[in-house]
Amino acid sequence: MEIIVCIKRVPDVSEAELDIDRSGQGIDEADLVYGINEWDNFAIEAAVQLKEAHGGTVTAITVGGEDDEEVLRRALAMGADEALHLRDEAFEGSDARGIATILHKAISSRPHDLVLTGAISGDEGSGHVGGMLAAMLGIRQVALATALTVDRSRATVRHEVEGGLERVVELDLPALVTVQTGLNEPRYVSIRGIRKVSGMEIPVAGAADLGIDPATVGLTGAQVVTEELFIPPRGEGAEILEGDDDDMVDTLIERLREHGGL
Amino acid sequence: MTGPHQIVLLPAQQSYLGLPGPLLQLLMLLVALGAFAWIINRRAALLRRGAPDPRLDNIGARVKRALVVGFGQSRQPRYRVAGILHILIFFGFLVLSLRSLTLIGEGFSAGFTLPGLGGALGGAYALLKEWTALVVILCCVVAAVRRLAVKPARYHDRNATGSHTGEALLILGLISFLMVADTLYEASHAVLGGEAVPASFPLVKAAAALLGGAGTNLLNTVHLGSFWLHNAALLFFLCYLPVSKHFHVISAIPNVFFSKLAPTGTVKPPRYEEPDMDKIEKLGVGSLEEFTWKHILDFYSCTDCGRCSDSCPAYASGTPLSPRMISIKSRDLAYAAYPVRGKFPPEGTITPLVGPFIAEGEIWACTTCGACEEACPVTIEYLDKIVDMRRHLVDEGDVPATLQKPMADLEKKGNPYGKMPRKRGDWTGLKDVPPCGVKTLKKGEETDLLVFTDSCAAFDPRIQEISRSLGRLIELAGLDAGTLGKDEADSGHEARRLGEEGLFEDLRDRNLEALEQRGFNRLVTPDPHAFNALTHDYDELKQPVLHHSQLLDELTAAGTLTIMGNGGPTRTVTYHDPCYLGRHNGLYDAPRRVLGRLPGVKTVEMERSRNRSFCCGGGSLYLFYEGECDRRMGEIRLEMAEKAGADTVVTACPFCLINLEDAIKTTGREGKMEVMDLAELVEQSLPGEQPS
């Protein structure tokens, strides 16, 4: 089974105090620490587990600059067989459609039974790339998978839908599945594990190698552009209602009316 | 009472089914020694397949240890009744072994005596032997009663599937039988010879009285029978030892001789034979053969006494870990996979241990406190084994999810909390925080005292208070002090002991680089884990390292910090010995001296103090790990403090403080008990100081 995993290197914003950078369109990256996108980590683990069970190869792909290579090495340390680094100045500033375009060009030319991506990324959080990529590849897709098994050429996926519900679907391969956190328990990657794969060659492909017209990707090709990034102004503090349940409900209804919510 | 002289048949002079006595004795010896040699060779064969482990350094220290701990039984009295019983049986055994050799000799030649034990010395020995035998029999009876009736809790492990009570009773029975048989042999000889047995030989006298009316034939049957049964039982005993839990009778003293001489706070290298970790194919221990030969010898030597698990905080708090079961299960597997009889597995066989026999839950539950090693009478090592098994799990990627995040944060941010590295030095004073006399050193700057807080004391808000308290004390003492600021990374102490050797090396190298870029005379840390790391894991560090209790001891002794009563409350204080300050580094007294100088402080000691201290549950990033347990270790420890009559627990470790303070909250003791760090208590005792 040929499995492709699309991964992204993102900043860890859990404890960071974010500052807007000088352009007003991005965050100040100086003190930030970067790592594998959490959702993608579950995707890599899923891919490696499927390979261990059914045989085949796992290829990890990322679109990014030099620094982003580290997540490919990490995927190799987790058990991916190959990695591919899609890197070109022309790719910088791509919107989700641009990323999907680049990935599509890289993937469509190689065998792919299953394409896995994280459901969203920890920085942008748009959740667009997976769906667009599937459409471009012309394969079926399911988003927010919480369980995934494959039997020969059929995948059974349990995934989240609206209303806190989950649904189980079966789909024929080739297919694309976007992965929700908690799908599995990703294996730990030790420093030693990373060191073991540090010598592996990771091929790089640019716009020319993939046959991509630079005008269709990057900032130039972007159809969604960031106008401004800002930290929402701090409003007044929250009000905590007191009293018994009936009192609180009455007060709440009053507040909602006052603020035009009802 | 004398009687008529009858014919005494001497064992060496008889024939048994045509076999002359000496030939029978020889055959018995050959069969037994042959079987024994075969069994020992089988047992040794597994040792030969274990990994290398150099244990012949410092022979003098090893001999001393073997004499003191091995022969001297120095660790036995910790459990008083069992300890005394064992000491008596052990020394009795040694005394009686001379008799056993003599009896073997009598099988070859009637009237045989060991060289030097004829004549007067022989007479003295005979008396000694008699009373020794009496004491040993009594001890065996008491021991049997303990097994059958008293049933001390530690005898049976809650995780054990089998029981060794049967084996224990068999051994007690065998030992007693040897004594009884010898007594009957002597008594029947006396009655046959018409001799009166003096009262100074009570056992033989009593036996002679029993045999008094018997006829010559019966007496001789008893005489010869008891002789040969004694020798047969002895030889059986010898062969039984290496197939039972009593292998320790043979292997204990060698095990002590080969024990780890390095401080217990140190960790063995991944492989002694390969110093470059990157060249090692598989790291750690997942199978029996990957243990070093000494660790396998440890399994053989385990007596299943249960003292390790009885001292283990992880066992007490209901986790799956029981140190003794690690030894017993490994030994059971070794005996099964490498049997005495039958096919021996071919060279290169791997017998998986971690997973099928030892669960991951057992391996991660250890805090590396070292109580088990401290308690073991035969100096079995556990910490290196736990770390080796963790190394294997880390290599395989099998790390619990709750530990993965702090370990990833250690790598990326230099602290397990995930806090921003640039804030690491902020505790010294920034904007809203008043400064405390410790400055942040830039590269190239110099100071007298380098304060290495490590991650907890740098980032945890409660522990930052301790760091600042220490800082203010340093300032009052007029000392020049500085930190590495945001160039400090976690010491890597827990990373190493969690099996992430690569991460440890990374962190250590970052710190060494930052330290080299600054000048200082000595280091001080409020964190015993950091103290242990800087002292033992950072070989390249040349400057001396102090724990802050040692610094405070120095300053209060010299009067540099003047302690004066300030009318503060009289506290009843108990000092909780941190594992990495006390047990692992032998530092028990400096904090106590400091407490002794503080006015308004009355000290009491917990039952489990000093090297018996009970771990708070701080090591191995336990604050993050969520394993199964019945109670938190901190709560158990707090109860011990309450039992000692203390209203204040004084700690000298950030983790101890956090865990005990948490325990106060979770057990509803707020307002009744308090936990303070030593530095805070000292600061309170200074003239005019108010706690901040």
B567: pLDDT confidence band, cut at 50, 70 and 90? low
Taking the Cβ of residue B501 and every Cβ of chain A, the question of whether any pair is shorter than 8 Å is answered with yes
Q: B284: helix, coil or strand?
A: coil
Q: Mind spelling out the 3-state secondary structure of B117-174? A: CCHHHHHHHHHHHHHHHHHHHHHHHHHHHHHHHHCCHHHCCCCCCCCCHHHHHHHHHH
Q: Smallest CA–CA separation between A235 and chain B, in Å? A: 23
A35 contacts on B by Cβ (under 8 Å) = 408, 412
Give yes or no for B134 touching A (CB within 8 A): no
Contact B396 A14 (CB under 8 A): no
Nearest CA in chain B to A12: B418
Which residue in A224, A232, A225 sits closest to A23, CA to CA? A225
**Comparing A218 with B435, which gets the higher pLDDT?**
A218
Residue of B nearest to A191 (CA): B502
pLDDT (tens digit, 9 = 90+) per residue, B181-237? 999 999 999 999 888 999 999 999 999 999 988 889 999 999 999 999 999 999 999
Mean pLDDT of A181-190: 96
Q: State how far Cα A210 lies from the chain centre.
A: 22
Neighbours of A197 (CB within 10 A): 18
Residue A58, beta-bridge partner list: A3
Mean pLDDT in residue range B547-567 = 86
Of A47-51, B5-9, B273-277, the least confident: B5-9
Query: Are A192 and B501 an interchain contact pair (Cβ–Cβ within 8 Å)?
Result: yes
Work out the pLDDT band at A16, boundaries 50, 70, 90. Answer: confident
- Residue B688's pLDDT is what? 62
Tell me whether B395 touches chain A (CB under 8 Å): yes
Cβ(A68)–Cβ(A41) below 8 Å? no
- Structural contact between residues B258 and B294, judged by C-beta atoms closer than 8 angstroms: yes
Contacts of A70 in chain B (CB under 8 A): none
Using DSSP's 3-state secondary structure scheme, residue B366 falls into: coil
Which residue, among B367, B495, B481, has the nearest Cα to B425 in the 3D structure?
B481
Nearest to A76, CA basis, from A57, A94, A95: A57
Please give the Cα distance from B306 to B314 (Å, whole number): 14
Give residue-wise pLDDT tens across range B147-160: 999 999 999 999 89
Smallest Cβ–Cβ distance between B394 and the set A35, A188, A194 belongs to A188
3-state secondary structure of A62: strand
3-state secondary structure of B3: coil
Given CB atoms, is B503 within the 8 Å cutoff of chain A? yes
Of A98-112, B35-49, B207-221, B557-571, the poorest mean pLDDT is in B557-571
DSSP state of B89: H
* CA atoms of A154 and A172, how far apart (whole Å): 4
Q: How far apart are CA B395 and CA B388, in angstroms?
A: 11
pLDDT tens track for B284-326: 999 999 999 999 999 999 999 999 999 999 999 999 999 999 9
Which residues are B440's β-sheet partners? B483
Cα–Cα distances in angstroms (integers) from residue B468 to residues B428, B457, B519, in the given order:
7, 9, 22
Domains of chain B (ranges; CATH) run 277-398 (1.10.1060), 402-557 (3.40.50.1860), 571-684 (3.40.50.10700)
pLDDT, residue B383, reads 98
Q: Is A84 helix (H, G, I), strand (E, B) or coil?
A: strand
Residue B4 has pLDDT above 80, yes or no: no
Burial class (CB in 10 A: 0-12, 13-18, 19+), A89: exposed
Q: What pLDDT is attached to residue B2?
A: 66
Of all residues in chain A, the one with the smallest CA distance to B390 is: A190
List of residues 6+ apart from B374 with CB closer than 8 A: B264, B311, B583, B611, B612
- Mean confidence (pLDDT) of chain A: 94
| Owner of token pair 């700057």 | B445
* pLDDT-derived band at B690, boundaries 50, 70, 90: very low
Give the architecture-level CATH label for domain A2-221. Answer: 3-Layer(aba) Sandwich (3.40)
| Contact (CB<8Å) A188/B407 | yes
With pLDDT > 90 as the criterion, what percentage of chain B qualifies?
A: 85
For helices B80-108 and B216-240, the axis angle rounded to 10 degrees is 120
Quick check: B420 and A195 CB within 8 A? Answer: no
* Cα–Cα distance measured from residue B510 to residue B525, given in angstroms and rounded to the nearest whole number: 18
Over range B561-585, report the average pLDDT: 86
**Cβ–Cβ gap B500/A78 under 8 Å:** no
Q: What's the rounded mean pLDDT across residues B21-41?
A: 95
pLDDT value at residue B214: 87
B277 touches A at CB < 8 Å: yes
Dihedral sign from CA coordinates of B299, B304, B308, B313:
positive
Alpha helices in B517-646 (DSSP H): 528-532, 548-557, 589-597, 633-643
State the pLDDT at residue B195. Answer: 87
- Sequence-separated (6 or more) residues with CB below 8 Å from residue B343: none
pLDDT classification of A158: cutoffs 50, 70, 90: very high
Contact B611, B582 (CB under 8 A): yes
Chain B contacts in chain A segment 173-212 (CB below 8 A)? 185-196
Cβ–Cβ contact A33 with B under 8 A = yes
Confidence check: pLDDT of B423 > 60: yes
Give the integer Cα–Cα distance in Å for A39 and A182.
9
Q: Is A248 on the interface with B (CB under 8 A)?
A: no
Whether A195 sits inside 8 A of B278 (CB atoms) is: yes
Section A211-230 average pLDDT: 93
CA distances from A76 to A12, B477, B530 (A): 21, 54, 34
Position B639, amino acid: E
Chain B interface includes A52 (CB < 8 A): no
Lowest mean pLDDT among B129-133, B262-266, B558-562: B558-562
| CA B474 – CA B453 distance, rounded (Å) | 14
Domain boundaries, chain A: 2-221
Chain A residue numbers with beta carbons less than 8 Å from the beta carbon of B506 are: 191
Question: Which chain B residue has the Cα nearest residue A15?
Answer: B419
Contact B411 A191 (CB under 8 A): yes
Calculate what percentage of chain A has a pLDDT beyond 70.
Answer: 100
B372 vs B490: CA distance, rounded Å: 27
Q: Chain A contacts of B410, Cβ < 8 Å? A: none
A122 touches chain B (CB under 8 A): no
Q: What is the pLDDT of residues B518-536, one digit of tens each?
A: 999 999 999 999 999 999 9
Size of interface A-B (CB pairs under 8 A): 58
pLDDT of residue A141: 96
CB contact, 8 Å: A139 with chain B? no
User: What is the spatial distance between Cα B323 and Cα B248, in angstroms, rounded to a whole number?
Assistant: 17
Q: What is the pLDDT of residues B367-379, one digit of tens each?
A: 999 999 999 999 9
pLDDT for the residue B691: 47
**B405 near A CB under 8 A:** no
Query: How far, in Å, CA of B178 to CA of B159, rounded?
Result: 34
Task: Output the pLDDT for position B565.
Answer: 64
CB–CB of A188 and B404 under 8 A? yes
What lies within 8 Å, CB to CB, of A16 at 6+ separation is A31, A32, A33, B420
Of B574, B443, B413, B369, which Cα lies nearest the Cα of B506?
Answer: B413
Considering the entire predicted model, what is its pTM? 0.93
* Paired tokens of B489: 């990374």
- Dihedral of CA atoms B5, B7, B13, B14 in degrees, nearest 10, equals -150
Structure confidence at residue B692 (pLDDT): 44
Give percent of chain B above pLDDT 70. 98
- What's the CA gap between B367 and B534, in Å, rounded? 19
